[in-house]
Structure 1
């Protein structure tokens, strides 16, 4: 199991870099070429969401991204450090979190986009921060004999 970890300051211009790295690692992991655009878009949404949450809550900690290559799957975790506001939003698109206008409304829209792009997605939030975990099937390329 190989993992690539990224940490970047909560600036929108860094989201593009995260998308490019995610696509490259997904390709290497054996994610189908037809799905790579979905990977890019989902990572872009998740990272943009984390950046927006950090900025709107005045958090200076970096956004965390972990890209993990497993035997038959490729997963991405995007973490933020915005504590849960006591609302239990453990399901993508779940009810209840859009009571406070713009940031939460944009948050729900981003989660809806992600859940539309990714079949296997989990969203969790604790008093330490939030995490979006997404995964796709992967077929690693066969090992090449010789050089």
Structure 2
């Protein structure tokens, strides 16, 4: 069950709020203080990417951010509503840019590469209803048990 769910219009100024909320909820969930900057940066990158995709495809639906506290982990899912080329899962998934948009594709791939450099456990699901980037971090309770 989500701890917090955010929905915001695809405006760049809302990305900062998503980063702040993600860091606060991650701290409360027990994510190590040393990792909170990575959480902020990864969420900022994922949200900026979703905002850019929404704006470039003229999508008016909100960007969604679901923050979930589990027993031994904390996860964040950032979803856009840009229909993908198909459905599936990958570590660096494909984006939904159309033909003749190689620059948009490379920017999207760069964003995913940045996120994967910040997050050890990342999954990208793409389908007809959009793409979701799921990022997971261990909580201190998981570290204490290992």
TM, length-normalised to structure 2: 0.88
Mapping of residues 1-147 of structure 1, within 5 Å: 3-86=3-86, 90-93=89-92, 100-139=101-140
Counterpart Cα distance in 1 of 2:28 and 2:65 = 17
Count of residues paired in the alignment? 139
- Greater shift in the superposed pair: 94-103 or 129-138: 94-103
Counterpart Cα distance in 2 of 1:24 and 1:128 = 29
Aligned residues: CA RMSD? 2.0
Counterpart Cα distance in 2 of 1:78 and 1:96 = 14
Compared CA separation, residues 77 and 58, structure 1 to 2 (3 A)? same
TM, length-normalised to structure 1: 0.87
Deviations 1:35-67 (A, max 9, x none): 000000000000000000000000000000000
Gapped regions of structure 2 (runs ≥ 5): 142-146
Gapped regions of structure 1 (runs ≥ 5): 141-147
State the structure with more CA Rg: 1
